[in-house]
Amino acid sequence: MNIFSRSDKTAEVIKYSKDYMSMQSTATRALLKFCQDHDVGGTYVEDLRKCLLALTSSDIESAVKHYRAIPVGNMGCLDDWSPHAACEHENDEYAREVFQALIEHWVRLMNLSLPNQGTRR
């Protein structure tokens, strides 16, 4: 028996990709700014702030942790909110569509750092 081989299953070391952190930071910052401008608050926005802080600190594991804490795609999730126009050049439809586009862009970029690229949970 080889003493260097292991027959037991050891915990898999999860490696998150840091390759996209600059784009992820920009997308997170844009989504956070939209939420602030349109008076969205709560725990999801706080997790967005924490995600951005982690990204700007090159802490991809914490960024992914906060990203995963923000649910999308179902009732009661971040994207289950319909923002209203906050500026005179906006109407409600425009605000909703921009919000959805920002979320979709952010989710797509954040998924690039997951170990199985695209497996959110």
The answer as to whether 15 is a domain residue is no
The answer as to whether 3 is a domain residue is no
Q: How many domains does the chain have?
A: 1
The answer as to whether 83 is a domain residue is yes
The whole-model pTM stands at 0.81
The answer as to whether 118 is a domain residue is no
The answer as to whether 9 is a domain residue is no
Owning domain of residue 79: 21-111
Q: What is the crossing angle of helices 21-37 and 60-68, to 10°?
A: 40
Q: Quick one: which H or E segment has residue 31?
A: helix 21-37
> Would you write out the chain's pLDDT as a tens digit for each of its 121 residues?
444 444 444 334 456 677 889 999 999 999 999 999 998 878 899 999 999 999 999 999 999 999 999 999 888 888 888 889 999 999 999 999 999 999 999 999 999 988 776 555 4
The answer as to whether 2 is a domain residue is no
